[in-house]
Amino acid sequence: MKLIYINLFLLLLTTSVMSQESILGFKPTTVTAQIQLEKEFDSKLSANNLDQWMKRMTAEPHYVGTEYGRKNAEWMMNQFKSWGFEAKIETYQVLFPYPKVRLLEMTAPGKYTASLKAESVEGDKYTAQGEALLPSYNAFSTDGDVEADLVFVNYGIPSDYEELEKLGISVEGKIVIAKYAGSWRGIKPKLAAEKGAIGCIIYSDPKDDGYYRGDVYPKGAFKNKTGVQRGSVMDMPTYPGDVLTPGYGATKNAKRLKWQEAPTITKIPVLPISYEDALPLLSALEGPVVPESWKGALPITYHIGPGPAKVHLKLEFQWDLKPAHNVIATMKGSDFPDQWVIRGNHHDAWVHGAADPISGMVALLEEARAVGELVKAGKRPKRTLIYCAWDAEEPGLIGSTEWVEDHKEELKSKTVAYINTDGSGRGFLNVGGSHSLQAMVMEIAKSVTDPQKNVSVYERRSAVDLMNGGDGDNKLYALGSGSDYTPFIQHAGIASLNLGYGGENSGGDYHTIYDTYLHYTRFKDPGFAYGVTLAQTAGRLSLRLANADVLPFEFKQWQNTVSTYLKEIIELTDKKREEVDKHNSMLDKDVFRLVADPQKPFTNPERKDAVPFLDFSPLQNAVSRLKAKTDQVSEISTDKLSAGQLAKINQSLFMSERILLREEGLPRRSWFKHQLYAPGFYTGYGVKTLPGVREAIEQDDWKEAQEQIEILAGTFKGFEQHLDKIIAAGKP
């Protein structure tokens, strides 16, 4: 068969029939057995297990370092063992700050002391566990004791500071208050500090996940007035994982930075609060009314300040090392034990974490249990399957990052792919990852049935795309950051996927005391139907990667995606040029001054430097050559190859993602080595594709942009040579 053949065939026909007859990567002789295997796998999945296990794992708070977290890890290890896995706990010693002092008070014009305490709610006993509930704070905020006038900065992202500049408002020496959402939270204090602020408060506006969205807990799923989102503000776009051991495992005797020197701890103190605590502060602000798009849903007129509201923020943390317990469960492959398919989900939570992360964790466990049963029935996977339950994801992807850093060389030589899940619920399939895996993922999506609509999850997702004006052709999103795939793909160059279901599971429980078993089973996935669907989907991914005759990597869709990204950055540059030209032309015509209301603050904007024309031809040529090569790869008739040739090709296929790394990493953040995908330096989770070039363009650094174009073209050249090896190996 040809690598590309089945895939195209599948895209053209409905799969309900076809999936019975062909699967990407399987020979006609092995397809039937694999289909049979997947049927058996499905038949072993039990929603009841998910329910019972979630109830057990979320009975008490289990953030890193807790006794209950350790118990969960041990319980899972024993479960894995009982299912026939070799299982162990790998523990790292990681810095985890615990809040000792949290004080936020308004000192002028009136007095107000923030309660910083979420109310327990009737009917949910988990919210009434008192001292056991982790106090609300932002992990890796620095210690601090500051007092200053307050400034409201909307979401506290770059475009908000541009808006403030237009109004002539500086945050220098001030404390900012920003809304949650709009970016990963860690960007807010990072940017505020860069702009000279001395403290940062983050609150959840009811517009984003409170009463504006829907009824609040316990009547509905959304955030009530006292709910507070916890979360890490570690500078993960620089490097994730233990702040004291950048780039290597936080083993017991590892060399460590002093915490005061760790570059990924914030420069200014940061505290998250509820909208009940934010209301008196925001109400006391004067100054200009905020721009339209900044307005939240509190019943006030939002003003920017600065002041007259003045606040005092005092934070102190216990800076201790805590043990992070990763559970690693291995099912050795029958034919290729040194080819690893790794499947992971984290098990630590900020509080009970029913949705985040236990909804994904229990699906992974059930998937592993079913695999164990298949093995007991003599159906051992050809490649090795490794199931992982990560600790300390919440404070900064710490458990997975330390493990990847600690085992980097072995992982790079043996790992076929990493498949991640995290919180999941009712709704539509969301899946992102390495685009060489797109064909396989979409093939699988066509073979999994949506539990509510009785069509494939592909078809249901496609319907949303059609509704939104798209062509209904589902694609993988590109991975930025935000869960444990990051060290695998961004640092080690291991092809990765991240998947979950959602869209009908919204709420305001994220990282609050309200993310409980009772909340989850009422609002997120009653009956765990989608939990089972997730196990089916991820299970197929694992089993196909484990058993494929030819690993289901496909490069035509990959190349097509890359050429789309290239087109985007060229258009981005053109668009910036047009915007600058338009801006300067409007300045010439005095438009800004003429439109401005003289009774409101106004600063006539500066003239901008013209955007130069970049030489994109090295990339255009490289991507064009890749097209020719990926066409050739797709023409390889794998059916006719010898076992030796197949082995060689498979080896090259799964090593292909590694070729997209650059050892020097991205500018100013060498930990991030992938040249196609990275979290944005100023978005935090949000992906930047072709990040070296794209971020240089976004930051108007034209010299670096041109350099990065050359570097990326070099990476593509290497990929071309890698494809040449596959083509050569595939010659009859």
Work out whether 471 is an interface residue with a second copy (CB under 8 A): no
List 80, 83, 155, 222, residue binding a second copy (CB under 8 A):
222
Cβ-count burial 155-190 (b if 16+ within 10 Å, e if not): bbbbebbebbebbebebeebbbbbbbbbbbbbbbbb
Q: Which is nearer to a second copy, 81 or 522 (CB)?
A: 522
List 211, 319, 350, 418, residue binding a second copy (CB under 8 A):
211
Q: Which is nearer to a second copy, 216 or 696 (CB)?
A: 216
The DSSP annotation for 99-137 comes to EEEEEEEEEESS-EE----PPP-TT-GGGG-GGGSPPP-
Q: Which is nearer to a second copy, 581 or 590 (CB)?
A: 590
Torsional sign, CA 715, 720, 724, 726 = positive
Instruction: Return the range that interacts with a second copy (CB under 8 A); candidates 8-16, 295-303, 396-404, 494-502.
Output: 295-303
Tokens representing 390 are: 């990560």
Do residues 368 and 361 touch, judged by C-beta distance below 8 A? no
Q: Which is nearer to a second copy, 214 or 218 (CB)?
A: 214
Shortest distance (Å) from residue 701 CB to a second copy: 28
Q: Which is nearer to a second copy, 502 or 691 (CB)?
A: 502
Report the Cα 363 to chain-centroid distance in Å: 18
Shortest distance (Å) from residue 460 CB to a second copy: 5
Shortest distance (Å) from residue 19 CB to a second copy: 19
The DSSP annotation for 627-669 comes to HHHHHHHHT-BGGG--HHHHHHHHHHHHHGGGGGB-TT-BTTB
Work out whether 453 is an interface residue with a second copy (CB under 8 A): yes
Instruction: Return the range that interacts with a second copy (CB under 8 A); candidates 159-167, 181-189, 464-472, 681-689.
Output: 464-472
List 20, 82, 452, 621, residue binding a second copy (CB under 8 A):
452
Q: Which is nearer to a second copy, 254 or 586 (CB)?
A: 586
Instruction: Return the range that interacts with a second copy (CB under 8 A); candidates 27-35, 56-64, 117-125, 462-470.
Output: 462-470
Q: Which is nearer to a second copy, 585 or 621 (CB)?
A: 585
Work out whether 628 is an interface residue with a second copy (CB under 8 A): no
Distance CA 484, CA 306 (A): 39
* H or E segment to which residue 81 belongs: helix 67-82
Q: Interface mask (CB under 8 A) for a second copy, residues 189-208, using x and -?
A: -----------------x--
| Residues 498 to 517 in contact with a second copy, rule: CB under 8 A | 504
Identify the three-state secondary structure at position 472.
coil
CA angle 16, 17, 19 (to 5 degrees): 75
List 135, 214, 618, 686, residue binding a second copy (CB under 8 A):
214
Q: Interface mask (CB under 8 A) for a second copy, residues 325-344, using x and -?
A: --------------------
Q: Interface mask (CB under 8 A) for a second copy, residues 571-600, using x and -?
A: ---------------x--xxxxxxx-xxx-
Start-to-end CA span in the chain (Å): 13
Distance CA 515, CA 530 (A): 18
Identify the three-state secondary structure at position 679.
strand
Q: Which is nearer to a second copy, 326 or 456 (CB)?
A: 456
Amino acid at site 207? K
Strands (E) across 248-333 are located at 270-273, 310-331
Work out whether 308 is an interface residue with a second copy (CB under 8 A): no
Q: 695 exposed, middle or buried (CB, 10 Å; 0-12, 13-18, 19+)?
A: buried
Smallest Cα–Cα separation from 216: which of 512, 517, 427?
512
Do residues 622 and 716 touch, judged by C-beta distance below 8 A? yes
Work out whether 624 is an interface residue with a second copy (CB under 8 A): no
Shortest distance (Å) from residue 431 CB to a second copy: 18
Shortest distance (Å) from residue 599 CB to a second copy: 7
Instruction: Return the range that interacts with a second copy (CB under 8 A); candidates 178-186, 435-443, 452-460, 492-500.
Output: 452-460
List 114, 216, 368, 441, residue binding a second copy (CB under 8 A):
216
Distance CA 198, CA 267 (A): 8
Amino acid at site 54? M
Instruction: Return the range that interacts with a second copy (CB under 8 A); candidates 29-37, 67-75, 210-218, 390-398.
Output: 210-218
Measured in residues, the chain has a length of: 732
List 181, 464, 646, 727, residue binding a second copy (CB under 8 A):
464
Q: Which is nearer to a second copy, 108 or 596 (CB)?
A: 596
Q: Work out the number of other CB atoms within 10 angstroms of the CB of residue 696.
A: 22
Size of the site for a second copy (CB under 8 A): 39
Task: Please tell me the number of Cα atoms within 13 Å of 659 on its side-chain side.
Answer: 20
Shortest distance (Å) from residue 288 CB to a second copy: 10
Work out whether 463 is an interface residue with a second copy (CB under 8 A): yes
Shortest distance (Å) from residue 452 CB to a second copy: 5
Distance CA 458, CA 650 (A): 27
Q: Which is nearer to a second copy, 299 or 732 (CB)?
A: 299
List 130, 258, 378, 467, residue binding a second copy (CB under 8 A):
467
Shortest distance (Å) from residue 681 CB to a second copy: 30
| Residues 364 to 403 in contact with a second copy, rule: CB under 8 A | none
Who contacts 613 (Cβ-Cβ below 8 Å, separation ≥6)? 577
The DSSP annotation for 363-411 comes to HHHHHHHHHHHHHHTT---SEEEEEEEESS-TTTSHHHHHHHHHTHHHH
Distance CA 279, CA 256 (A): 42
Which residues of this protein are in contact with a second copy, per CB under 8 A?
206, 211-216, 220, 222, 289, 295, 297-301, 427, 452-453, 455, 459-460, 463-464, 466-467, 472, 504, 586, 589-595, 597-599
